[in-house]
Structure 1
């Protein structure tokens, strides 16, 4: 099977990246060494090509009601230009996927889903939209995504954009930012426990933006240190801490499940029953300690 390539693939090869298969994509496991790249993120700035992630838009007058039915968290709790971590459950309370959702307004939301699950997620959403006045569009092929992570990420990124990053709070985003002449969306969430940002750009601009960040001093990083960094920060990864059989309670993700919200949601009943009587399954995976950078 031919692997899919991100718009930054040729840059990875030019930089000597060790290209491997991940979720059907050709992505770098490392460029220099896992230790060097890990330390670059902890001490300076590292950048990751995460263009394999999926971007799905849900729009329409019933968007809030539909999303609250679809996901475990309560989207009504967040404001415009705010992000939220949430979980898409199956009927048994297992995890279809975990994701980030960004709210433009009450009628427009962006779901950023795991690359390995994008097609499955899109079908799941379409299969459950009956009765809701919403439009669901998978725009994953249009976006390059680059994660900029590390204590000096703000200082570096600020040199290339026309927006004051001091104004961007944790778990918020801003769209239409000028990045050296290109319009991008910038969010501040992160997957390393460090200060960090995500740049969502036109697919065809991804390679140039990646190289501009390197020119300013960012260290290109691969999948290897993404894992070691997330281990240290106790961030979950679909297929490891949770999946269709291992529900979010087993992974210590109760904070992303709102049993008090006014809307019913898929998978609520079996999950709530287990929560109320106590988690039966003995799961020795590390519990998530969702600290992050605030």
Structure 2
């Protein structure tokens, strides 16, 4: 039987730099991405105690401009984009038309009537099509700038101190969700005080052609390269949902702890999000056995949900998981998780597992 040809994996502008650094590369959302360099625990610990840098250039970037840019974004998102000002960023959702999410995104306001959207890599084409479908009636222009930008995430408690000597801007004056132009190591960049690790840090938007040199300079001052493995353990400890696990086009987003992302306004899919979710996202602690996505979660021997993400927490020293369970049982203090036919006790914990 002949196999259908598969699409070649896409590469970020930092692909050669990852190979030089000894990264183990894996397919991820259609991209060839580094899962680890020295090792997941070492990279995780570097971000928790000092600073690490992630290549997140696989994410998609869309520019939204026009006199109706704000009105359009209000229509296609759940959060209140009118609260943004130039130089500020906001976490937001793209709701679907049938109850789930098209994606969870970040919006950065450049100027009046000009916004940059950063979307999940595996959803870029889907998001672009969804936004295009809803432009009717709006004086708005969309531009896909995903090929233009490389995106580097410098994360950790020493991120500011390690970047400051090489920046032309007082980074300490920039608060959470700030978004601003700067010069970093002589390169013109945009910096955002945002991230996905539970630590302080900056995400660096740089021209794709300059990314490799900038990456090398970050490593040269002692910032640790970190891969997808550490990114996942860090975000899970911080209780951050990941699209395709805790969010999807079929999961009610208000099952999560992120109810604050939905504001009282008219938007796509509002009638579905207004419905009461049948499940709730909870945290679980296990003593020894790590659990993975899809493992059944039980109460009194009956299946009441499933694990959405699980790992052994490097910071906490024990396995943790997030799970979607039936709302009626979500407040139970203890559950069991079935692993290869055997049930293991799990204690419910409030999310997040870790706060810096």
- What TM-score bracket applies, with the shorter chain setting the length? over 0.9
1:21 aligns with 2:61: no
* 2:284 alignment counterpart: none
The CA distance in 1 between the partners of 2:195 and 2:94, in whole Å, is: 20
Q: Is the 8 A contact 2:107 2:117 kept in 1?
A: yes
Q: CA deviation at 1:292?
A: 7.0
Tell me: CA distance 1:124–1:255, structure 2 relative to 1, closer, same or farther (3 Å): same
* 2:279 alignment counterpart: 281
* 1:164 alignment counterpart: 170
Please state whether the residue corresponding to 1:117 is helix, strand or coil: helix
Please state whether the residue corresponding to 1:2 is helix, strand or coil: coil
Q: Is the 8 A contact 1:233 1:291 kept in 2?
A: yes
Give the structure-1-normalised TM-score: 0.93
The CA distance in 2 between the partners of 1:281 and 1:251, in whole Å, is: 9
Please state whether the residue corresponding to 1:144 is helix, strand or coil: strand
Q: Is the 8 A contact 1:253 1:288 kept in 2?
A: no
Q: Which has the higher contact order (CA 8 A, sep 6+)?
A: 1
Give the structure-2-normalised TM-score: 0.77
Q: Is the 8 A contact 1:251 1:288 kept in 2?
A: no
Q: Is the 8 A contact 2:53 2:154 kept in 1?
A: yes
Q: Is the 8 A contact 1:158 1:165 kept in 2?
A: yes
Q: CA deviation at 1:180?
A: 2.2
Q: CA deviation at 1:31?
A: 0.2
Please state whether the residue corresponding to 1:225 is helix, strand or coil: helix
Residue correspondence of structure 1 range 121-136 to structure 2 within 5 A: 121-136=127-142
* Aligned residues: CA RMSD: 1.6
Q: Is the 8 A contact 2:34 2:227 kept in 1?
A: yes
Residue correspondence of structure 1 range 1-294 to structure 2 within 5 A: 1-175=7-181, 177-258=182-263, 260-261=264-265, 264-272=266-274, 274-275=275-276, 279-281=277-279, 284=305, 286=322, 289=352
Tell me: CA distance 1:90–1:288, structure 2 relative to 1, closer, same or farther (3 Å): farther
- Number of residue equivalences: 285
Question: When you count helix as a share of all residues, which structure comes out higher?
Answer: 1
The CA distance in 2 between the partners of 1:281 and 1:162, in whole Å, is: 48
Please state whether the residue corresponding to 1:68 is helix, strand or coil: helix
The CA distance in 1 between the partners of 2:166 and 2:82, in whole Å, is: 34
Please state whether the residue corresponding to 2:279 is helix, strand or coil: coil
Q: Is the 8 A contact 1:192 1:292 kept in 2?
A: no
Question: When you count strand as a share of all residues, which structure comes out higher?
Answer: 2
- In structure 2, stretches of 5+ residues that fail to align are 1-6, 282-304, 309-321, 323-349
Please state whether the residue corresponding to 1:252 is helix, strand or coil: coil
Q: Deviations over 1:227-264 (max 9, x none)?
A: 00001111111000010000211222211111x23xx1
- In structure 1, stretches of 5+ residues that fail to align are none
The CA distance in 1 between the partners of 2:239 and 2:118, in whole Å, is: 20
Please state whether the residue corresponding to 1:97 is helix, strand or coil: strand
The CA distance in 2 between the partners of 1:132 and 1:289, in whole Å, is: 39
Q: Is the 8 A contact 1:235 1:290 kept in 2?
A: no
Q: Is the 8 A contact 2:255 2:278 kept in 1?
A: no
Q: CA deviation at 1:161?
A: 1.4
The CA distance in 2 between the partners of 1:94 and 1:208, in whole Å, is: 40
